[in-house]
Amino acid sequence: MARLSFAHVRSRFWMAACWVSAAVVLAVCAGIVLAMAARGIGALEPSFFTTDPQPSFEESLAGGIRAPLAGSVILAVSGILAVFLPSLGAAIYLAEYMDEQKLGTRAIRLGLEVLAGVPSVVFGFWGLAVFSQPIFAFLSDSAGGDATSAFGRSFLVGALVMAVHILPFVVKVMEEAIRAVPRALREAGYALGLTKWRMIKRVVLPSAAPGIVTAIVLGLGLIVGDTAIVWLTVGGTMTMSGADAWWLPHNWLPVLKGTGSTLTTFIFYSSPAGEGNAPGKAYGAAFVLLALVVALNAFVAWIGRQRSIKAQ
């Protein structure tokens, strides 16, 4: 066997180190998924999805995740509804109308960048303080019924805070999608005699639709995965305080104005860190949450693939 030179030994050593780090990252990722599966799958019986959490020291009596799962969906949908129009409007303005030279528009861009870096816990605490002001009492059930302060915690409050939190990210992805529409298509639109807004509406937005949907789905993922904002602004009740039968339309407003939980706060609460002390249930919920996040990611990847197939 030929003697390896120092250079080759060194090269092999460092390449091996790189392979080891890749293997560690893969292993940790697999480890998390396997840990969820191994400890969580046991909890996944039909009743897990059809019963609400029960306060109990006995894990077998701790109920299921019906209310938190519904809470995640309610919060995600209402948060996206709140953020959609403002973010789409801002993205169109930034991509199509903005005069990069103007101070105001540059300030907006810088501001969005700064807002994107602010940790969600700051938003949560900010939201709690803002929406506890008496003028926002209509958004949350006042705890004691006094008019001097609002409770400041409800699905509506949570959705609004989430909207502010994910706005910069959603705007960024949407703006990227809008900017990615080829110049040739815009010119074709103008050459047909469309005004700027009609061109945007008829040509740019339909072409950017997959990217806009991607922004929405990524935004859903951020809402579903966040804990700090939910913990601080949706309240710590495991079930809906507004009405137990949240699925009945006449209960929707009370539910939105009431407190509740999502999968993330359920996990936090049921883990050894919270008071629920039902780690099996926490793992079950974590497994469901992870599956949700993976499904959202897969959907985004699918949209991307559709787009690249179309482009060919």
The footprint of other proteins on residues 132-171 (CB under 8 A) is 164, 167-168, 171
Minimum distance between the CB of residue 302 and other proteins, rounded to whole angstroms? 13
CA dihedral 115, 117, 122, 124 (to 10 degrees): 70
> Count of residues binding other proteins (CB under 8 A)?
113
> Using the rule CB under 8 A, which residue among 118, 245, 248, 253 binds other proteins?
118
| Residue the block writes with tokens 């609460």 | 269
| Residue the block writes with tokens 């306060």 | 55
- Rounded Cα distance, 23 and 52, in Å: 40
- Rounded Cα distance, 196 and 300, in Å: 30
Contact between 103 and other proteins by CB under 8 A: the answer reads: no
Nearer to other proteins (CB atom), residue 4 or residue 61:
4
> Using the rule CB under 8 A, which residue among 37, 73, 116, 213 binds other proteins?
116
CA dihedral 51, 57, 58, 61 (to 10 degrees): -20
**HSE-CB of 270 using CA atoms within 13 angstroms:** 31
Minimum distance between the CB of residue 86 and other proteins, rounded to whole angstroms? 5
Kindly indicate which of the ranges 4-12, 58-66, 73-81, 253-261 contains the residues binding other proteins, using the contact rule CB under 8 A. 4-12
Contact between 80 and other proteins by CB under 8 A: the answer reads: no
- Rounded Cα distance, 188 and 174, in Å: 22
Minimum distance between the CB of residue 65 and other proteins, rounded to whole angstroms? 14
> Using the rule CB under 8 A, which residue among 49, 119, 275, 306 binds other proteins?
119
Contact between 102 and other proteins by CB under 8 A: the answer reads: no
Contact between 65 and other proteins by CB under 8 A: the answer reads: no
Minimum distance between the CB of residue 193 and other proteins, rounded to whole angstroms? 4
Kindly indicate which of the ranges 59-67, 241-249, 250-258, 291-299 contains the residues binding other proteins, using the contact rule CB under 8 A. 291-299
Contact between 24 and other proteins by CB under 8 A: the answer reads: yes
DSSP percent split of the chain into helix, strand, coil, nearest 5: 75, 0, 25
- Rounded Cα distance, 85 and 79, in Å: 11
Minimum distance between the CB of residue 246 and other proteins, rounded to whole angstroms? 22
Nearer to other proteins (CB atom), residue 246 or residue 283:
283
Residues 169-208 that bind other proteins (CB under 8 A): 171-173, 176, 182, 184-198, 202-203, 206-207
Mention every residue, 6+ apart, whose C-beta is less than 8 A from residue 88.
174, 212
Amino acid at 304: G
Contact between 256 and other proteins by CB under 8 A: the answer reads: no
Neighbours of 2 (CB within 10 A): 5
Residues 211-250 that bind other proteins (CB under 8 A): 221, 224-228, 231-232
Residue 101 has which token pair? 């030279």
Nearer to other proteins (CB atom), residue 152 or residue 242:
152
Assess contact for 140 and 60: CB atoms under 8 A.
no
Least Cα distance to 32 among 298, 289, 312 occurs for 289
> Using the rule CB under 8 A, which residue among 44, 76, 90, 256 binds other proteins?
90
Contact between 299 and other proteins by CB under 8 A: the answer reads: no
Contact between 302 and other proteins by CB under 8 A: the answer reads: no
DSSP 152-169: --SHHHHHHHHHHHHHHH
